[in-house]
Amino acid sequence: EVQLVESGGGLVQPGGSLRLSCVASGFSFTYWMSWVRQAPGKGLEWVANIKQDESEKYYVDSVAGRFTISRDNAKKSVFLQMNSLRVEDTAVYYCARAGDYGHYFDSWGQGTLVTVSS
Amino acid sequence: DIQMTQSPSSLSASVGDRITITCRASQDIANYLAWFQQEPGKAPKLLIYDASTLQSGVPSRFSGRRSGTDFTLTISSLQPEDVATYYCQNYYSALGFTFGPGTKVDIK
């Protein structure tokens, strides 16, 4: 069974940093992986993705230069380092796996809540 | 950036009704369109990818179609367990993906 388990969320002050982790199990860790977020009561927003060999990484404009996605294939994990956090980064952050045939998201974690507030 | 719009933003229908949700892309995205269902407090669940391919395990009452830059998700016979918010997603380019704003579906 495919499983994605996120951790690392919490309360942080504006300007602070946080590192999210996602551990995968139940499949070969050879897929593109993404982070998708959802602000309270709002829709879904793709944040970043990373290729299997880390040779390609992409970000939504609103986090480029502040967030960094990375992965450790030996530990079947993907990470999101979030710096210079803003109030508007408050959201549930989901880890998601790309599908076999394209960049749709066929498996999701349960999400971890990041709250940026003073 | 490719923009996605959805209509309606919400709908209320009776059990057994046929409902259709529309998603429109701001430019040609070929068939690179997925549909997700999100129940309150849960992670999204993939229903359809490549505009019309049903994900394994998804009931056959769900279907998807493409006409140019317009995409539709149809539920042929609405069930109580279908109460959720539905999102479309374009994945035309690995450089970035966009979701529609969502359609909230509930039962009359």
% of chain B at pLDDT higher than 70: 100
Query: CB-based contact (8 Å) between B71 and chain A?
Result: no
| Residue in A56, A106, A108 closest to B94 by CB | A56
Q: What is the pLDDT of residue B69?
A: 98
The answer, yes or no, to whether residue B101 has pLDDT greater than 90, is yes
What is the average per-residue pLDDT within A28-36? 97
Q: How confident is the model at residue B104 (pLDDT cuts 50, 70, 90)?
A: very high
Q: Indicate yes or no: CB of A43 within 8 angstroms of CB of B46.
A: no
Q: How confident is the model at residue A102 (pLDDT cuts 50, 70, 90)?
A: confident
Query: CB-based contact (8 Å) between A94 and chain B?
Result: yes
Residues 6+ apart with CB under 8 A from A77: A21, A22, A23, A24, A71
B102: left (phi over 0), alpha (psi -120 to 50) or beta: left
The CA–CA distances, whole Å, from A56 to A53, A85, A95, B31 equal: 8, 24, 17, 23
Q: How confident is the model at residue B24 (pLDDT cuts 50, 70, 90)?
A: very high
Q: What is the pLDDT of residue A111?
A: 98
Name the closest residue on chain B to residue A5, using Cα atoms. B43
Q: What is the pLDDT of residue B94?
A: 83
